[in-house]
A and B are shown apart, each in its own frame.
Chain A
Amino acid sequence: MAVQTSPRTPTGSSSTSTASPRTPTGQPWTEKWGGLLFVAPFLVLFGFFLLWPTLSGLWNSFFNKSLAGVGGEFLGLANWREVFHDPAVWSSLKNTLVFTAMSTPPLVLTALVMALLANRTGVFGWFLRFAYFAPFVLPATVVTLIWVWIYQPGFGLVNGLLTSAGFAEIDWLNTENRAMLAVVITTVWWTVGFNFLLYLAALQGIPEHLYEAAAIDGAGDRQKLFRITLPLLSRTTGLIVVLQLVASLKIFDQIYLMTVGGPNFSTRPIIQYIYESGFTSYRIGYASAISYLFFVVIVIVSIAQFKLFSGRKEDLR
């Protein structure tokens, strides 16, 4: 639809200088404004589906707007005041932060170990790369169906192994102190592959002659690892940590699909509370206010990401 605003036919924009009306400066119209046609399709979609909801969300947060009703009465800062006094907001934000703190270290360290192990060519390297990254391409639902079955009490794989080793069975997803751990394990299995590939790319960017020179100087494998490889990966590590923090803060899919935030709301993340406020309680205005609180948290971490992002190219080459 919007895509067709840019001329598709060869004649559309080629015969510019003679046929087009000129701007007062004598510049052809298409020279001055033609570039806008290239960005127009994107900008239209950007405006409709990103800018508008961002602004209308902020607007709605000042109104008592419900999903069904039109308009709604102006509340001023009442929604915002409620957000700051709602224990459910803080407990779900806390769950999000706990998940982030629990998942980030293993997601970074496991990825590093995997990359160091798989940094080789040949069939074995291909096999390792396939195995480590394969879960990442699966949809959240497939991952959680498999893991709910693995954690199943009675005849699931984990409990089957636990009981045959003489341990007591654990109802992982329905026990308050175990559910989050279970979700973190599933998440590490599912998403570590992406960080693994980032590390692998960085490893392959380390010039071979550094290792050759070190070998001539008599350095062993351990020295090469601690004196060359790990120091040269430090910037990549910084980047991966920040990317992972942002990704972990956005947790929703796995938790919703595995525990629905339970037991007793002990795993409910902030996005689930936004979802419930908007689509279960139908409080659009209130849900928008919580969204903005979460948005601020994300922006603070993202700005740190951006600072690292700008220096990334030099790092990986």
Chain B
Amino acid sequence: MTAQAISLRPAVSGPVQPRFTFAKVALIAGAALLALLWLVPLLWALDTSLKPEPETTRTPITWFPIDPTSAAYRSVLEQGSILRWFLNSTIVAVLVTALTLLVSVLAAYGFSRTTFPGRKVLFGLLVAGILVPPQVLIVPLFAEMTTLRLVDTYWGVVLPQVVAPVMVFVLKKFFDGVPRDYEDAARVDGANRLRIVWSVMVPMSRPILGAVAIFTFIGAWNNFLWPFIVTTDPSMMTIPVGLANVQGSYGLRYAQIMASAVLGGLPLLIIYGLFQRHVIRGVGDAGVKG
């Protein structure tokens, strides 16, 4: 299909060739300029982090470090707390992703393929739950966490994030479209329903599960508001919460502030670079999560 399109184009656009090329060059230049504009803040942060402290406050500004140094990174890492926040973020994001997938797949299968009394009412409740923004729950949820003694614990950070009715809704819609023949075949072979979920539904929905996993992971890693509220002990903070205090504690040492920003952003940029194709397809297929 694409090959056809390419072979058609030169023949048709032949007569207007010169204007077409000019427009095309202009578009490419515009696209590249816009991309550069979007990369400048990231590059500026990297640039600043490699300068010696005194150079960061020089006027007029210097575009490239005259005397590049990794001193800022060394002092940030020596302080140590950022490593602890990395660990916390990893634990939280992995737990949230794994539990969300497990719980949501089972629930989606239950709502899509089984019947039990009250199923419709419960699904209606789930759909209503999509409308509740997590932001309006922070106050009662914190009160609840205090009662449950989950403040400043991993479970306190993790469990509310596992409740993702949108994910169940999207997966249920997807399961609805999976033909029942595969399941019936597996059932004839003696598989029980849990077995069917694992060896029929999960393999058949691998792309959408991948999208759900990546977005849940990014969302959990980046979540600021809830971890900010439920953690007060610096040793329990995640990267986004811990870094929020960096500005105050480093004072005016901009190289160090930018070094911690670079360190805090790098893991996700790497993950995104590796999984870019899945992320992009995921937004198209299931990314609409409000």
Q: Which residues of A contact B (CB under 8 A)?
A: 3, 6-8, 10, 12-14, 16, 32-39, 41-43, 45-46, 48-54, 56-57, 60, 65, 67, 113-114, 117-118, 121, 124, 126-135, 137-142, 145-150, 152, 154-155, 157, 160, 163-164, 189, 194, 197-198, 200-202, 204-205, 208, 211-212, 215-216, 218, 220-221, 239, 243, 246-247, 250, 252-253, 257, 271, 274-275, 277-279, 284, 287-288, 291-292, 294-295, 298-299, 302-303, 305-306, 309, 312, 316
Contacts and interface: CB of A to CB of B under 8 A. Distances in A.
B261 A118 contact: no
B163 A45 contact: yes
Interface string B53-64: 000111111000
Interface in B1-23: 1-2, 4-5, 8-9, 12-13, 16, 20, 23
Contact of A14 (B144, B159, B192, B197): B192
Nearest to A243: B290
B226 to A, nearest CB: 10
Contact of B139 (A33, A43, A208, A278): A278
A279 B142 contact: yes
Given A50-B129, A56-B143, A141-B244, A253 B41 contact: no
B178 interface: no
B103 A145 contact: no
A22 to B, nearest CB: 16
B272 A312 contact: no
B283 A194 contact: yes
Contacts of A252: 135, 225
Given A35-B110, A295-B136, A312-B288, A129 B104 contact: no
Contact of B110 (A38, A132, A157, A218): A38
Contact of A141 (B99, B117, B130, B224): B224
Nearest to A130: B276
A218 B107 CA distance: 53
Contact of A146 (B42, B106, B165): B42
A215 B102 CA distance: 49
A135 B38 contact: yes
A141 B56 contact: no
A274 B58 CA distance: 41
A157 B44 contact: yes
Contacts of B25: none
Nearest to A197: B283
A117 B27 contact: yes
Given A45-B163, A201-B283, A287-B139, A34 B45 contact: no
Contacts of B257: 145, 149
Contact of A305 (B117, B239, B290): B290
B16 A129 contact: no
A39 B140 CA distance: 25
A198 to B, nearest CB: 6
B133 A118 contact: no
B133 A139 contact: no
Contacts of B56: 155
B194 to A, nearest CB: 6
Contacts, number: 322
A53 B114 contact: no
Chain B facing A: main interface SS: helix
A179 B268 CA distance: 28
A298 B134 CA distance: 11
B50 interface: no
16 contacts: A38-B197, A45-B163, A46-B165, A54-B132, A117-B34, A129-B276, A129-B280, A131-B36, A139-B221, A145-B257, A146-B258, A149-B254, A189-B38, A208-B4, A287-B139, A295-B132
Nearest to B195: A10
Contact of A53 (B106, B109, B137): B137
Contacts of A146: 41-42, 44-45, 258, 261
A39 B111 contact: yes
A39 B110 contact: yes
B228 to A, nearest CB: 9
Contact of B41 (A128, A189, A202, A275): A189
Contacts of A208: 1-2, 4-5
A200 to B, nearest CB: 7
A50 B139 contact: no
Of listed B4, B99, B110, B144, residue having the most chain A CB within 10 A: B110
A135 B5 contact: no
Given A155-B57, A189-B41, A215-B9, A48 B159 contact: yes
Contacts of B221: 139
Nearest to A121: B2
Contacts of B122: 39, 43
A35 B276 contact: no
Contacts of A277: 139
A41 B106 contact: yes
A257 B244 contact: yes
B243 A142 contact: yes
Contacts of A134: 38-39, 42, 269, 272
Contacts of B287: 194, 197-198
